[in-house]
Structure 1
Amino acid sequence: MDRSGRIFAILLVLGVVLQSAVATTYVVGDSFGWAVPNNSSTYSDWVSGKTFMVGDILTFNFVTDEHDVLEVTKESYEGCKSTNNISSLITTGPANVNLSSTGEHYYICTVGRHCQNSQKLSLNVSASSTSSPSPSSGPTSQTTPPPPSSSGSFVFANVFVSVLSIVLCILV
């Protein structure tokens, strides 16, 4: 195999490895965002077909003082109660929540009757292929601005271009 063939093979392998290590950012509700939905299945429909992994990030897009986000137990989720919370109340939007543990996660909006009107989210988080399962201590919440949409792809592209540049500098 000539030199350019070896470079291509190395970059292909690096690309596959790096792609598997990149977390995915999900914008809750996609373009609808985190708001009171028109029907009770909006957020369960949004979750359907998605695989959430430890290390992924949920971005809750909402207007500060109109909505909030609170992770709660299953019982509090089902009863729309802000008791038995797992994380601190997030009141500033948009907000990112890092999924740092496996298992079921439950989120509600505590403003008015928003939760009773189906502004609540339930999802299951699986262990990532690049990390071992974490204890069920709940996710770490942040109120930083959301990353660009498709940030997993964006991060992967940046890492790939950086690695490509380094490899080319070494080999050329």
Structure 2
Amino acid sequence: MVGGRSRHVVAFLLMAAMGFLSTSAAHHKTHIVGGSYGWRIPNTTTFYQDWADARDFAVGDQIVFLFTTMVQNVVELSSAEDFAGCTTNNVIDIHFRGPTILELTAAGPQYYLCSVGLHCENGQKLSINVSSTPHPDVDLAYHNQAPAPAPIPPAAASAAAVRAEHGGAFAFAASSLGLCLLLPFLV
């Protein structure tokens, strides 16, 4: 009888730990840059900055750049001067395949632009300030909602975007499934 109780306690603690891990991911947001407009030359040069100014970004969040491969790109910059002048002297990374999903791993200002043609000069650039403070506990349905983007070309790309937008739910489902498969061996 004592051995049976200890297995139940272990199973309970395992479920509690998995629940804690899956809910801690709920404090991170996924931001689709430009909303349903995506990442392309905007109608105004302030479009992406206006979009970013209405949002809060924190370490652990993801930003998703929805764009067509070989038509746009995403250049990560380390310099405010490069950002302001649409130059690429201090590049951290360049992403050529859309959509691009980036995790925000450091607090402070971060700069992105498209280096194709005059896209940056025409407003296809984004500057955000990432906070080290996590988001308060918010309703997942609220912060993940964004208008449906235009169709994403390759099937793999849409799967990646779905994983990015619903990663917490998938992680919880996967951990719950793993627990269900493991539970009979614990009892």
Q: For 1:75-154, list aligned pairs within 5 A.
A: 75-85=81-91, 87-129=92-134, 145=157, 146-148=160-162, 150-154=165-169
Q: 2: CA distance between counterparts of 1:171 and 1:124? A: 46
TM-score (norm 2): 0.65
Distance 1:36 1:159 in 2: 38
| Larger proportion of helix | 2
**Unpaired segments of 5 or more residues in structure 2?**
1-14, 136-155
CA distance in 2, matches of 1:170, 1:51: 44
Give the Cα separation in 2 of the matches to 1:157 and 1:114.
40
Shift >6 Å, 4+ stretches? 11-14, 166-172
How many pairs are equivalent?
153
1:31 maps to what in 2? 36
| Per-residue CA distance 1:113-167 (angstroms, 9 max, x = gap) | 000000000111112549xxxxxxxxxxxxx843316324533652674488589
Larger Rg: 2
- Greater relative contact order (Cα < 8 A, sep 6+): 2
Q: RMSD between aligned alpha carbons?
A: 3.2
Question: Residue 24 of structure 2 aligns to which amino acid in structure 1?
Answer: S
Structure 2 distance, partners of 1:34, 1:157, is 30
Residue type of the alignment partner of 1:83: N
